[in-house]
Structure 1
Amino acid sequence: MTTRMRLLVSVRNEAEALLSAEGGADFIDLKEPRDGALGGLPVATIRSIVQALRGRDIALPISATIGDVAMHEADLIAARVEAVGACEVDYVKVGIAPSLQAAAVLDRLAASRHAVVPVFIADAGLDFELIARACRLGFPALMADTADKRAGSLFACVAAAELQRFVATVREAGKLVGLAGALRLPDLPALRRLAPDFAGFRSAVCAGDRASALDGQKVRGLAELLG
């Protein structure tokens, strides 16, 4: 049975979150696009957006990033996961960059009381030994994303065969698999071939570049294309 690829939209404030929910997003992802690939919002802002959505009986899953933190700062990563998770988001996203410390960071994240989603930064390729390790741990989902959004979409940075292997590896482990990274409408045919459980968008649903305001009409159009 083929399931529909679900739409994750990254938002920075309450107004964008409501636009995304009304426009047909399946996941609401809280981040600050002006502060990097996984730029984090202030904890107070995250909590406020969660309360605004839940207060309107919007039950969509909500994820939030902890910000771009280097792998050698494990204590800071753990502290931010705890702070973001305490805002009652459903998932806490943590960027995993290739490094000597990444395996230890994954082990520590797997022990968190919150549902952590490792996001593998794929600009220089994917480390499948690290991905296999994550698949053995208790994470509900894994994602691949890019750090440099100016370099083009995920498909400009990573070969289709490598992405296909990523999707298959994660799915075989019984976890949800997501793809993101400056994705645009021309990437939809390639996304459909890979068929991840969800795809993350920001650039394609903004009025201008990814740092500009979200465009509700573009969210609705993309949701209709995926649906």
Structure 2
Amino acid sequence: MTNQGTFSDPAGFKPPVESVSRQWLVSLRSLDEVRIAFEYPIDILDLKEPRNGPLAPSPVELWLETVTIVEAMIHAKPKLSAALGEPDQARRVASRLPATFDFAKAGPSGCHSPQRLTQMWEDVRDRLPTKVELVAVAYADHHAAESIAPESVFETAKRAGLNRCLIDTFTKDGRSTLDHLSIDRLTEISAIARDFGLWWALAGSIRHADVEKLNQSNVHPDCIGVRGDVCSGDRTSSLCRQKMQCWADTFRSFL
């Protein structure tokens, strides 16, 4: 299963009310992991350095090397996403992101009001290459990040003209987004995304066992993002091919 090609230009993006299938995002931290990722039907390759925080950026060199590899591909090119870090770091590195990336994410820590969050997004968007789409990030454990709740992030994103949102976790202590946000609350967030016409991704220590729980609920993310659950140890360790294959099989059968 692969949904490459289902993205449209940000200016004309009109997501369906219900996605036909979910997309798969995997976060990668090295060129070796990028090469491994090409063995699987991943829709979005997300580059970040998990050893330095929830959304710490990769070295610029990895951005450039990944672009070179993807541009050389003939068929089924995955989309490219980059983590830029928390607000101050995101402002510093955004202008260095290659223009061929599709998406960028900036952590909202310290953005304790919609106005402050909107200003951060404006600052980062002004520095990003024109065609790179900024994704609004919400932290499930938003109190720990001194940021606003996911529902408010989605609503603020709609007002600010952002079309995509992602829920992640700020504190990487083994607890997942589903440990912080109940299925009932995620159902409400899913409804907000649908009503606002927002594409959204669910990440934050998502485990393979969570997929069936989501499929039995009214939570309908357009994309599921994983890192720790496809690693040989914790999220800072290397990719595990056996776990990657398990997730690949899930996307073929469940989603």
- Shorter-chain TM-score range: 0.7 to 0.9
The corresponding residue for 2:43 is 26
**Pairwise CA RMSD of aligned residues?**
2.1
Q: Quote how far apart the aligned CAs of 1:109 are.
A: 4.3
| Map of 2:84 onto structure 1 | 66
Q: Report SS of the residue matched to 2:45.
A: strand
Report what 1:56 is aligned to: 73
**Equivalence for 1:122:** 140
1:15 to 32, 40, 53: 32
SS in 2 for 1:63: strand
Report whether the alignment pairs 1:95 with 2:112: no
Partner of 1:131: 154
On the 8 A contact 2:150/2:167 being kept in 1, the answer is no
Residue type of the alignment partner of 2:225: G
- Distance between the aligned counterparts of 2:183 and 2:199, measured in 1? 19
Structure 1 range deviating more: 144-153 or 116-125: 116-125
> How far did residue 62 of structure 1 move?
0.8
Q: What is the distance in 1 between the residues matched to 2:150 and 2:208?
A: 27
Which residue is 2:240 aligned to? 215
* 1:163 aligned onto 2:186: yes
Q: Flag as ranges the 4+ runs of structure 1 deviating above 6 A.
A: none
Shift of 1:95: 1.4
> Match of 1:197?
222
Q: Structure 1's 41 and 172: CA in aligned 2 closer, same or farther, altered over 3 A? A: same
Structure 1 alignment gaps of length 5 or more: none
Deviations 1:157-208 (A, max 9, x none): 1122222222221232222110100111121123323121001001111111
What residue identity is the alignment partner of 1:90?
A: D
RCO (CA 8 Å, sep 6+): is it higher in 1 or 2? 1
Q: Please report how far the alpha carbon of residue 116 of structure 1 lies from its aligned counterpart in structure 2 after TM superposition.
A: 0.5
**1:221, distance to aligned residue in structure 2 (A):** 1.6
Q: Which segments of 5 or more consecutive residues in structure 2 lack a partner in the other structure? A: 1-17, 144-148
Match of 1:82 in 2: 95
Write the letter of the residue equivalent to 1:44.
E
- Could you say what secondary structure the match of 2:173 adopts? helix
Q: What residue number does 2:62 align with?
A: 45
Which one has the bigger helix percentage?
Answer: 1
The alpha carbon displacement at 1:110 in A equals 5.3
Q: CA deviation at 1:136?
A: 2.4
Please give the per-residue CA displacement for 1:82-113, whole angstroms capped at 9, x wherever unaligned.
212x3521101111234242232134445552
TM-score normalised by L of structure 2:
0.79
Tell me the matched-pair count: 221
Tell me, in whole angstroms, the C-alpha distance in 1 between the residues paired with 2:49 and 2:19.
Answer: 33
CA distance in 2, matches of 1:122, 1:201: 15
Q: Measure, in 2, the Cα distance between the counterparts of 1:12 and 1:53.
A: 16
Greater displacement, 157-166 / 125-134: 125-134
Normalising by structure 1, report the TM-score.
Answer: 0.88
Is the CA contact 1:5–1:197 (under 8 Å) kept in the aligned structure 2?
yes
